[in-house]
Amino acid sequence: MNIVSLVKLAIDTGQLRFDPSTYKPMLHDIPLKISDIDRNALEEALRLKQYGFSKIYALSLLTWGPLGKRIQEAQNLLREALALGADEAILIADEHTIDSDSIFVAKALAEMIRRISDVKIVLAGEATVDKFSSQIPARVACELGFSYVGFVRRIEYKDNKVIVERDLEDHVEIVELDLPAVISVTREINTPRLPTLMQIRAAMKKPLNIIKSSDLGLQPFKKTLETNYEGVKVARKNIIIEGKDMSEKVSKLIENLISEGVIIPRR
Amino acid sequence: MRILIVGKLNDIIELSGAASIMIRSSSQAVDVDALSIEKIMRAPPEVETLGYDRIFYPDNIERIETPRQLAETVTDLMNKNDYIYIIAPSTKLFKESLAYAGQKLQIPIIPDVSQIEAGPGRHIFMRTIMAGRVRSYETPLNKAIILIGLGRFRGGRFSEKKTSFVPIKISVDTSFRIIEKREKARGAVRLEEADIIISVGRGFRSKDDLKLAFELADLLRGQVGCSRPIAADLKWLPEEHWIGLSGKKVRPKLYIALGISGQPQHIAGILESRVIVAVNKDPNAPIFKNADYGIVGDLYEFIPKFSEKIKEILGVK
């Protein structure tokens, strides 16, 4: 029995920069990171391991290019997943995975999961921090024909079944699900650990395989969407109110709020 | 050309607004069907007059509630009717169910759409990604599933068509067994509608101190919001106060962030505020970059002074 933890190598939105003339995000130059919520998924995989699972696979597909530049960066990030406790890492990357859409990504991930023996649970974050579309886990479940449950904040494992608590907008559901299953988790499920120096060293010896999508027998994807990115210009005034003490600062603030028309004085 | 709208009855009313944009911008005749995820006992007049062609609803169960049930129902309707767009609310159940359906049908999804631009023969759907810092304009090259943030469109009559209500059989999903369903506590908090929001963050030292924010909110007839740590980690406030990417997205006239550092996920929830005020001890807190007015200082000093002056201005004793 094995667990696959999906790891998105996401754009680090904290480091976004924009082309000064076009104001388009310079995505090729922005570092990647392990998507935050996928760290929670991996942590949960490590916790579930105690129930008799033999291996945790960290599985990733590289979508952000350029390929030549990203391939080493992607491997470094997957070493981090290994340091956190994954037993083996797999990176699907070639020219076809770059900028591929979620239909293709789900097919490729599912095809790889089929090639790993006896996968009972696939874990992933509820969304990735860059595009936040929450689609991949359900799409992967559909490809594999696995059970699926999303937005989970607690998992209980019991003889080939899981009981989960999932968080929807206006209610919470407790759901029982047969395995194999794909489960997406929220950040509330746990607090991801930080790797120790020992673990970082040990990670260098763990297997990290790079697979091409063509080796998985996949056809290059057909484009389904035309997409155009534009930076959001911050139109905020960014005025820091100075003053000799808080009282003066507050008075100045209130004057401004009145002239903005958001506070209306009574006469 | 056909469109399918999916949701609860309220969603079907609201999303008729999106349907009417599609109809106005299309050179061909557009028929709009809907799938209600809840059983319909009596045809509600406010839905009947909108101009839907057919409204499908579950006949053998009270509501469609598992992701796979919804995915299979939608897939089935798609295969029979060849819709160009499937439109649904951008909430968790629809995101996951329609992702499952989208994979079955091999079609893309555009989630969290906040704006639709119509050009001749095509539509551009806009959504904000990368923690609110990038707008993504997406044009489907063929069929697509479109998920729309609620509160964006006003529903209304889009055609003179007479609506027929069509019961359908939903297959039973035994793989997903709901053992218990708990409604979340819902108080009087309606952050999405608030004109003024006083929002609290890690700068508050204790749960007890939050009453300072509540008093200020009362004074301004506003509501209290909070950042992720307050609702999710410390649990000082119920989740209905949580503002941000995984919390609520708000659009008040005045947003006052007290002791909130301004993580990108929080900023994403407040982008549409008209005026943002930030109070924080740390002059380097990222919130100041996203604020109109910033005060570098202690919120414990700010609140009493601010309340006092507001009382004077509003003539409150």
Residue A25 and residue B246: Cβ atoms within 8 Å? no
User: What's the rounded Cα separation, in Å, for the pair A162 and A148?
Assistant: 11
3-state SS, one letter per residue, for chain B: CEEEEEECHHHHHHCHHHHHHHHHCCCCCCEEEEEECECCCCCCHHHHCCCCCEEEEECCCCECCCHHHHHHHHHHHHHHHCCCEEEEECCHHHHHHHHHHHHHHCCCEEEEECEEEEECCEEEEEEEECCCCEEEEEEECCCEEEEECCCCCCCCCCCCCCCEEEEECCCCCCCEEEEEEEECCCCCCCHHHCCEEEEECCCCCCCCCHHHHHHHHHHCCCEEEECHHHHHHCCCCCHHHEECCCCECCCCCEEEEECCCCCHHHHHHHCCCCEEEEEECCCCCHHHHHCCEEEECCHHHHHHHHHHHHHHHHCCC
B69 and B134 inside one domain: yes
How many C-beta atoms lie closer than 10 Å to residue B49's C-beta?
13
Residue B293 and residue A256: Cβ atoms within 8 Å? yes
Residue B175 and residue A177: Cβ atoms within 8 Å? yes
- The pLDDT, as a whole number, for residue B184 is 78
- The pLDDT, as a whole number, for residue B152 is 75
If you search the block for the tokens 């209500």, which residue do you land on? Answer: B165
User: What's the rounded Cα separation, in Å, for the pair A17 and A36?
Assistant: 20
Residue B274, amino acid: R
pLDDT band (50, 70, 90) for residue B154 = confident
In-domain check, residue B7? yes
How many C-beta atoms lie closer than 10 Å to residue B108's C-beta?
23
Over pLDDT 90: what percentage of chain B? 74
Residue B108 and residue A103: Cβ atoms within 8 Å? yes
Q: Give per-residue pLDDT as tens, B164-186.
A: 999 999 998 888 999 999 987 66
Q: Are B310 and A254 in contact, with CB atoms under 8 Å apart?
A: yes
- The pLDDT, as a whole number, for residue A267 is 62
B222 and B137 inside one domain: no
pLDDT band (50, 70, 90) for residue B239 = confident
B83 and B145 inside one domain: yes
In-domain check, residue B157? yes
DSSP character at residue A224: -
Residue A138 and residue B246: Cβ atoms within 8 Å? no
Residue B188 is encoded by which pair of tokens? Answer: 């009087």
How many C-beta atoms lie closer than 10 Å to residue B185's C-beta?
9
- The pLDDT, as a whole number, for residue A116 is 97
Q: Residue A18's beta-bridge partner residues?
A: A25
Alpha carbons within 13 A on the beta-carbon side of B160: 0
Q: Closest chain B residue to A228 measured between Cα atoms?
A: B137
In-domain check, residue B237? yes
Examine the fold and report which residue of B137, B168, B199 is the final residue of a domain before the chain moves on.
Answer: B168
Q: Closest chain A residue to B178 measured between Cα atoms?
A: A175
The shortest CB-CB distance from B183 to any of A126, A163, A170 is to A170
B153 and B202 inside one domain: no
Q: Are A133 and B109 in contact, with CB atoms under 8 Å apart?
A: yes
The shortest CB-CB distance from B264 to any of A13, A142, A260 is to A13
How many C-beta atoms lie closer than 10 Å to residue B253's C-beta?
17
The ipTM is 0.91
Compute the mean pLDDT over every residue in chain B, rounded to the nearest whole number: 92
If you search the block for the tokens 């509630």, which residue do you land on? Answer: B65
B9 and B154 inside one domain: yes
The shortest CB-CB distance from A250 to any of B109, B138, B306 is to B306
User: What's the rounded Cα separation, in Å, for the pair A109 and A61?
Assistant: 7
DSSP character at residue A61: E
User: What's the rounded Cα separation, in Å, for the pair B258 and B196?
Assistant: 13
The shortest CB-CB distance from B140 to any of A126, A224, A257 is to A224
B277 and B134 inside one domain: no
In-domain check, residue B130? yes
Residue of A190, A240, A250 to mutate when probing chain B, most B C-beta within 10 A:
A250
Sheet architecture: strand order including B196-200 = A239-240, B293-296, B275-280, B254-258, B196-200, B223-226
How many C-beta atoms lie closer than 10 Å to residue A254's C-beta?
18
The shortest CB-CB distance from A239 to any of B109, B110, B293 is to B293
The shortest C-alpha distance from B11 to chain A (Å) reads 15
User: What's the rounded Cα separation, in Å, for the pair B114 and B84?
Assistant: 19
Chain A residues lying within 8 Å of B133, measured CB to CB: 13, 16, 25, 231-232
- The pLDDT, as a whole number, for residue B151 is 75
Q: Are B167 and B55 in contact, with CB atoms under 8 Å apart?
A: no
B147 and B227 inside one domain: no
In-domain check, residue B185? no
Nearby residues of A145 by Cβ (< 8 Å), 6 or more positions away: none
In-domain check, residue B81? yes
Q: Closest chain A residue to B129 measured between Cα atoms?
A: A131
Give the domain CATH number at B252.
Answer: 3.40.50.1220
In-domain check, residue B173? no
In-domain check, residue B176? no
The shortest C-alpha distance from B13 to chain A (Å) reads 20
The shortest C-alpha distance from A23 to chain B (Å) reads 10
- The pLDDT, as a whole number, for residue B188 is 64
B274 and B156 inside one domain: no
C-alpha angle with apex B251: B245 to B253, nearest 5 degrees?
145
Q: Closest chain A residue to B234 measured between Cα atoms?
A: A188
Nearby residues of A49 by Cβ (< 8 Å), 6 or more positions away: A3, A56
pLDDT above 70 (res B187)? no
If you search the block for the tokens 């309220």, which residue do you land on? Answer: B10
pLDDT band (50, 70, 90) for residue B306 = very high
The shortest C-alpha distance from A146 to chain B (Å) reads 9
Q: Give per-residue pLDDT as tens, B102-119.
A: 999 999 999 999 899 887
B235 and B137 inside one domain: no
- The pLDDT, as a whole number, for residue B190 is 81
Examine the fold and report which residue of B111, B134, B168 is the final residue of a domain before the chain moves on.
Answer: B168
B87 and B45 inside one domain: yes
Structural domains in chain B (count): 2
B128 and B196 inside one domain: no
pLDDT above 90 (res B132)? no
- 3-class secondary structure, A242: coil
B137 and B15 inside one domain: yes
- Domain extent at residue B107: 2-168
Residue of B8, B63, B66, B96 to mutate when probing chain A, most A C-beta within 10 A:
B96
Q: Are A121 and A155 in contact, with CB atoms under 8 Å apart?
A: no
If you search the block for the tokens 């508050």, which residue do you land on? Answer: B204
Query: What's the average pLDDT block by block, 10 residues per block, for chain A (267 residues)?
Result: 98 92 95 96 97 97 97 98 98 96 97 97 95 95 97 94 92 96 95 93 97 94 93 87 95 94 83
User: What's the rounded Cα separation, in Å, for the pair B145 and A134?
Assistant: 14
Give the domain CATH number at B75.
Answer: 3.40.50.620
User: What's the rounded Cα separation, in Å, for the pair B63 and B157?
Assistant: 26
Where b means 16+ CB within 10 Å and e means fewer, B160-175 reads eeebebeeeebeebeb
Q: Give per-residue pLDDT as tens, B8-63.
A: 999 999 999 998 888 888 888 899 999 999 999 988 888 999 999 999 999 999 99
